[in-house]
Amino acid sequence: SSLGSLISLFYVGLGLAILSSFLIGGSVILKKKGLQRLVASGATRAVDGGYGYLKDAMWWAGFLTMAAGEVANFGAYAFAPATVVTPLGALSILISAILSSYFLGESLNLLGKLGCVICVAGSTVMVIHAPEEEKITTIVEMAAKMKDTGYIVFAVLLLVSCLILIFVIAPRYGQRNILIYIVICSVIGAFSVTAVKGLGITIKNFFQGLPVVRHPLPYILSLVLALSLSTQVNFLNKALDIFNTSLVFPIYYVFFTSMVVTSSIVLFKEWHSMSAVDIVGTLSGFVTIILGVFTLHAFKDLDISRTGLPHMHKNPTPPPAPEPSIGEPCGTA
């Protein structure tokens, strides 16, 4: 029956979403291990401009695992609603945190874990309230959307922001502030996803017999995808090289998700179909993400854990004894 086939497709999407989370969560650990092996060998580190990781099998295993996870994630969206797929995508944060603790000896303090939960909640709310994506069926329609003045202004602003971050801010503050490299990856990621969507439509049109080979957009999108992916890989490696994996991945996840949703809303003018509830929900999710990232970043160096909390109340540190004032006897009669 049609109902049975719909349920079957839903479970296919569910399975792909869970598989994607495991693959993406595990891939970050493999890439970090590859970068650590590079440091141990004495080669130039990624953060210092080295590309020795491109010769490391462990790093490539992580890269290919992440690629497989992203493919599974795109497939999940084709079979199951975003309200199911997106929250499950947050599982990758939990998986990477568990694996980084076990294999890398890294851990987040209590406030860091709380920040992760807040970030995931915010990104989930934001995606759930995002409008249904407009169905684009041909490369000609996609080109028309990308030629729109609003999207061109948005894309130029993103590109200029990225160039400033890459050439002005990152060389000065990148190794001290975790947000610099991650924001670059996330903003560039908006271009990657748009290019992938456009190329997906191109492939579908090609098999439908449409003359896509003569259209310039597929070639432009291929160039954009190559440049954006190489930039993403470069700066994500820099972040993983010097910062805690269990800190990098949650922040990257929420920034990347937020940028992709925002880019989609601008490209397809989806705000026209958004209700007041959806607009408030999207903005609330975004503010929640900001609070979560602030909690993660501001308190990352505090030595605070769940086991330490009761001692703060049960065994308070006694106040220092007041020193005797001048003229007061030191002893008692």
In the block, which residue shows the tokens 């759930």?
Answer: 128
| Number of DSSP helices (H) and strands (E) in the chain, helices first | 13, 0
Quote the pTM value. Answer: 0.76
Q: What is the distance between the alpha carbons of residues 265 and 132, in angstroms, rounded to a whole number?
A: 9
Instruction: Express each pLDDT in 93-102 by its tens digit.
Output: 778 877 887 8
Q: Write the CA distances from 35 to 54, 96, 236, integer angstroms.
A: 10, 16, 11
User: In this predicted model, what pLDDT tens digit does every residue of 22-69 receive, in sequence order?
Assistant: 998 899 899 999 988 888 888 888 888 888 888 889 999 999 999 898
Higher-scoring residue by pLDDT: 74, 208? 208
Is the model's pLDDT at 108 over the cut of 80? Answer: no
pLDDT at 126: 77
> With 90 as the cut, is the pLDDT of residue 162 above it?
yes
User: What is the DSSP annotation of 48-83?
Assistant: GT--GGGG-HHHHHHHHHHHHHHHHHHHHHHHS-HH
- Token pair 């709310």 in the structure block, residue: 125
CA distance 239 to 32: 10
**Is the predicted pLDDT of residue 82 greater than 70, yes or no?**
no
Q: Which residues contact 212 (CB under 8 A, 6 or more apart)?
A: 139, 202, 205, 206, 218
More confident residue, 132 or 55: 55
| Residue 316 pLDDT exceeds 60 | no
Long-range pairs of 229-235 with CB within 8 A, sequence gap ≥ 24: 229/192, 231/166, 231/184, 231/185, 231/188, 232/185, 232/188, 232/189, 232/192, 233/63, 234/46, 235/166, 235/170, 235/181, 235/182, 235/184, 235/185, 235/188
- Name which of 132-141, 202-211, 321-330 the model is least confident about: 321-330
Within 10 A of 96 (CB to CB), how many other CB atoms are there? 26
pLDDT, mean of residues 307-327: 57
Task: Express the helix, strand and coil content of the chain in percent, nearest 5 each.
Answer: 75, 0, 25
What is the average per-residue pLDDT within 11-30?
A: 88
Q: Angle 116-122-124 (CA atoms, 0-180°, nearest 5)?
A: 100
Q: Residue 333 has what pLDDT?
A: 43
- pLDDT surpasses 60 at 1: no
Helix (H) or strand (E) holding 275: none
- Higher-confidence residue of 136 and 303: namely 136
The candidate with the shortest Cα–Cα distance to 28, out of 176, 243, 175, is 243
Which pLDDT belongs to residue 166? 94
Checking if the pLDDT of 301 tops 70, the result is no
pLDDT of residue 323: 58
